[in-house]
Chains A and B, each alone.
Chain A
């Protein structure tokens, strides 16, 4: 049973560029959340996708956007990169039960983004 997978593992970009990160959820999961983990900090929630729509959003600017595909995989896009966007980006998946609640999230290994 494949867990949550993310690609690429590492990425180097320069300021002002755009980046796309990808996530495949754990088999059987339909909900994907994205988190940003700066060095020495706990993960911070960016947003969550369910049924191909953004359902919840954390305190992140519009430069951060996402997408969920019919197969439940997801992308995180960041435009106009800033030095401060350098972080580990984690994807987590979970299963929406009966359209009402979610069970435990499982995290992928992350994509480490360095902005120069």
Chain B
């Protein structure tokens, strides 16, 4: 079945550690890709997005993500995390043939230890 997979459900890191959250999707063809973040008690907000062009995209708060088409992946990275990055992160995919909807992954809950 077509889907969006986030490999880690729960990640715990210490401050200053490097972060990589995996995301794979199973849709063929052109896709638009997103990472959303939900801080505790807040609603979802866009972290970054990829539509076309440079496969390495930079978002807010020092986050970046790399689109690797051959691997159907869009992993999220940050070189040095902060306590304020504690949140839930959702990868989302918009397949080109479903231009009205975005498919969300199940989310990765990130907990940063001070």
Do A and B interact?
A: no
Interface of B with A (CB < 8 Å)?
A: none
